[in-house]
Amino acid sequence: MKQIASFTIDHMKLLRGVYVSRKDTAGAEILTTFDIRMTQPNFEPVMNTAEIHTIEHLAATYLRNHDEYANKTIYFGPMGCRTGFYLILAGDYESKDIIPLLTSMFEFIRDFEGEVPGATAINCGNYLDMNLNMAKYLANKFLEDILYHISDTHLIYPN
């Protein structure tokens, strides 16, 4: 069986950052999948499900309400390895193109106060598994360590 593209990346060299994982076509539209790597694979602890779940709810809410990207957002969700998230946007993008979007999204998460959107039994299948404080901490850490001064080392997959 052919190995999928994401398994061909050397995860021992992969740093935290924002990478174009793949580009696909759906009809005439290009779909760009981004690898938003918040922890360094195999070197840092993975994120716990509660904060991942909270980030997912807040980021999805932010993206689906964004003036420019609401209709371009196809998917936002966690990686199974719990080191980051995938974002799929309609359009042909490079990693650097979405840094302003991700910066504002993670600032939204860092600064969020109140009830997490969709965190009720009616709206979510596991609404009790949330940790807003840790989600805010991780969002701020990603902003401070990566997004606010991102370089090509954190935008282009390692060889």
- Which residue segment(s) compose the domain that 36 sits in? 10-154
| Cα–Cα distance, 99 to 102 (Å, whole number) | 5
Q: Domain total for the chain?
A: 1
Q: What is the pLDDT of residue 85?
A: 98
Q: What is the pLDDT of residue 4?
A: 78
- For 26, the 3-state DSSP assignment is strand
pLDDT tens digits for 18-56? 999 999 999 999 999 999 999 999 999 999 999 999 999
Distances (CA, A) of 34 to 56, 116, 117, 137: 15, 24, 24, 22
Q: Is residue 32 part of a domain?
A: yes
pLDDT band at 71 (very low <50, low <70, confident <90, very high): very high
Predicted pLDDT of residue 143? 98
- In the chain, the percentage of residues whose pLDDT exceeds 90 is 94
Asked if the structure places residue 39 within a domain, the reply is: yes
Query: Residue 60's pLDDT is what?
Result: 98
